[in-house]
Amino acid sequence: MKTDRGETLLKARTGFIRTKGERMPTQSCEADSVSGSVSQRACVYCGARVVLNPITDAVHLVHGPIGCASYTFDIRGSLSSGAELYRYSFSTDLKEQDIIFGGERKLAAAIDELVQKYHPPLVLVYSTCVAGVIGDDLEAVCRAAAQRHGIAVLPVESSGFAGNKSEGYRVACEVLMRLMEAGNSPLPAMEPGINYLGDYNLAGELWIIGGYLRRMGVKLNAAFTGDSSLKALQTAPAAAFNIVQCAGSMGYLAKRMQERYGIPFFHVSFLGLQDSADSLRLIASATGDEEVMARTEELIAEEAGQAEPFIQAYRDKLSGKKAAVYVGGGFKAISLIKQFRELGVEVVMIGTQTGRKEEYDEIHNLVEDGTVILDDANPAELERFMSRQGADLLVGGVKERPLAYKLGVAFIDHNHDRKHPLSGFEGAVHFAREVYHTVCSPVWKYVKQGG
Ligand code: SF4
């Protein structure tokens, strides 16, 4: 496949890249990465760790070589209001001898040492590529440790090669189901509230949305998994309904909880003014309580009223600019198209690591003709289409940042590494301010001149 600059893309990647308005087959997605394409997508272990790491009172023990354990709180933006144990990334640090003779004894000893030192209520043991290849029996080691210590010790079967990041999400959701099952026979009798699935309390975003819910009079049982604890997660089965933000990581759990506990769910998004207002109204209407609905309207009027003048001011500066977006999941991509529209910015390239078919259909309907849509892209594709489409800005994560800077294009971090909240009405103002600061920075004209 040739781009308009004559560069060749991998033939097997053709179906994963579409241009709206051109006659092309349906978008390929939800597949393993093409061999030879250096995918931006993370491994199974990373997908599982994204979901489970914000359980703040757990020991997160990585059974593998030390490199896999580089994933720690301190390169992630998920915050805690209580326990800090999740900030560590413990590792069994497997070496050649362990690979030859097996690492089960070393793992059991590591669990014993950590339990004696930190007294956690929960230990999560992550499998990695090496642990999967040598075939250590994590289930058996964890079961024996749980009996020895009288706490929950669960394996996370997340060997990196066993699929892609989406498989890691599914594995993590199964672990969450086991945690809920372990704490609930019989189900706790409590006032029904709601669970918030797919928020990881990045830079305190859960606290912003939790504040809205409190003002509306809606009780939050548990968040999955931002700022959560074992005890909080085990109250989740008593909820009246689930709201799901990141459907890519938590859609599976929502379906499992509906099957197992009969808890209905619906999707929400708190990115941008319109999505935030629509989502709060959806929640209020699902409670069926007219007082909640009235309080919600007051809240929206107040919060949107404060945010709109700022958004308008940034819109005046940003109108006509072009954005490229490459993010983890489809929900965020869809919300960003709408949020950029609020700022007068057109999305000219958009892609995800783990988007699903129905999400790509919605993306396709939302964008203008000529927009390039990519699934599971590699760096060469992102650079080529960013340049071809004339993007002024790239929205992505830590792996995409250098691609933008090399091209002299502005960048916004919308991944789990960031340290500023982008959710709700105040998050929309932060986002608009950041887009303005980076796109309108005078530095780009010097970078381009220098290049
Ligand atoms: S689990 Fe495998 S792919 Fe994932 S970080 Fe570790 S070695 Fe790399």
Residue 337 pLDDT: 97
Q: How many angstroms separate the alpha carbon of residue 50 from the centre of ligand 1?
A: 14
Residue 76 pLDDT: 77
163: tokens are 């699929």
Give the number of other CB atoms < 10 A from CB of residue 174: 17
Q: How many angstroms separate the alpha carbon of residue 233 from the centre of ligand 1?
A: 27
Q: How many angstroms separate the alpha carbon of residue 42 from the centre of ligand 1?
A: 9
Does some domain include residue 335?
Answer: yes
Same structural domain for residues 203 and 170?
no
Same structural domain for residues 61 and 160?
yes
Average pLDDT over residues 112-118: 98
Least Cα distance to 350 among 168, 420, 448, 335 occurs for: 335
The DSSP secondary-structure symbol of 91 reads E
Residue 42 pLDDT: 85
- Structural domain including 263 reads 194-298
Output the residue whose Cα is nearest ligand 1's atom 5: 68
Same structural domain for residues 200 and 260?
yes
Residue 185 pLDDT: 59
Does some domain include residue 305?
Answer: no
Residue of 63, 66, 68, 75 best suited for mutating to test ligand 1, as the one with most atoms within 8 Å of CB = 68
- Decide if 72 contacts 42 (C-beta within 8 A): no
Does some domain include residue 306?
Answer: no
- Distance CA(389)–CA(325), nearest Å, equals 12
Q: How many structural domains compose the chain?
A: 3
Looking up tokens 């990373």, which residue turns up?
46
- Distance CA(361)–CA(3), nearest Å, equals 24
Residues 136-152: pLDDT tens digits?
999 999 999 999 999 99
What is the side-by-side strand order in the sheet with 393-396? 17-19, 372-375, 346-352, 322-327, 393-396, 410-413
End-to-end CA distance of the chain: 28
Pocket of ligand 1 (CB under 6 A): 43, 45-46, 64, 68, 128-129, 160
Least Cα distance to 226 among 53, 386, 392, 18 occurs for: 53
399: tokens are 């792996």
Average pLDDT over residues 384-402: 94
Same structural domain for residues 199 and 143?
no
Q: Give, in order, the Cα–Cα distances in Å from 108 to each of 117, 123, 138, 248.
A: 14, 12, 9, 33
Residues 303-341: pLDDT tens digits?
999 999 999 999 999 999 999 999 998 999 999 999 999
Same structural domain for residues 366 and 414?
yes
Does some domain include residue 292?
Answer: yes
Evaluate if residue 7 carries a pLDDT over 70.
Answer: no
Chain centroid, CA 138 distance in Å: 26
Same structural domain for residues 160 and 198?
no
Does some domain include residue 284?
Answer: yes
Average pLDDT over residues 117-144: 97
- Decide if 144 contacts 108 (C-beta within 8 A): yes
Residues 216-275: pLDDT tens digits?
999 999 999 999 999 999 999 999 999 999 999 999 999 999 999 999 999 999 999 999
The percent of residues in the chain predicted with pLDDT above 70, rounded, is 94
Same structural domain for residues 414 and 326?
yes
CATH code of the domain in which 277 resides: 3.40.50.1980
Same structural domain for residues 69 and 32?
no
Same structural domain for residues 94 and 210?
no
312: tokens are 């308008």
Evaluate if residue 344 carries a pLDDT over 80.
Answer: yes
Q: What band does 187 get if pLDDT is binned at 50, 70 and 90?
A: low
Same structural domain for residues 199 and 176?
no
Residue 450 pLDDT: 45
Does some domain include residue 188?
Answer: no
Residue 122 pLDDT: 98
Evaluate if residue 190 carries a pLDDT over 80.
Answer: no
Output the residue whose Cα is nearest ligand 1's atom 7: 129
Give the number of other CB atoms < 10 A from CB of residue 23: 5
Does some domain include residue 430?
Answer: no
Average pLDDT, the chain: 92
Q: What band does 415 get if pLDDT is binned at 50, 70 and 90?
A: confident
Output the residue whose Cα is nearest ligand 1's atom 4: 160
Same structural domain for residues 260 and 334?
no
Does some domain include residue 227?
Answer: yes
Same structural domain for residues 146 and 223?
no
Residues 20-72: pLDDT tens digits?
998 777 889 999 888 888 888 889 999 999 999 999 999 999 999 999 988 66
The DSSP secondary-structure symbol of 8 reads B
Bridge partners of 326, per DSSP, are: 351
436: tokens are 């303005």
Evaluate if residue 213 carries a pLDDT over 60.
Answer: yes
416: tokens are 């789990």
Tell me which of 182, 216, 238 is where a domain ends.
182
- Decide if 85 contacts 61 (C-beta within 8 A): no
